[in-house]
Amino acid sequence: MDGGDGSTLTERFRRAGLRVTGPRQVILRVLEESDDHPDVEELHRRVSAVDPRVNIATVYRTVKKLVEHDLIERHSFDAGRARYEAAPTEHHDHFIDVDTGEVFEFRSDEIERMQQELARAHGFEIVSHRLDVYVRRVNRRKRKARKAD
Binding footprint of its own copies on the chain (CB under 8 A): 74, 76, 79, 82, 95, 97-98, 104, 106, 108, 110-111, 114-115, 118-119, 122-139
d(CA 45, CA 9): 20
Per the CB < 8 A criterion, the answer to whether 8 and 2 are in contact is yes
Nearest C-alpha neighbor of 59 from the set 49, 69, 48, 68: 48
Tell me which of its own copies, DNA, none is bound by residue 15, counting a contact when its beta carbon lies within the kind-specific cut-off of 5 to 8 angstroms.
none
* By the rule CB under 7 A, 14 interacts with DNA: yes
Parallel/antiparallel/unpaired status of strands 103-106 and 93-97: antiparallel
Find the binder of DNA among 28, 38, 62, 71 (CB under 7 A). 62
Binding site for DNA (CB under 7 A): 14, 18-24, 39-41, 53-58, 60-62, 64-65, 79-82
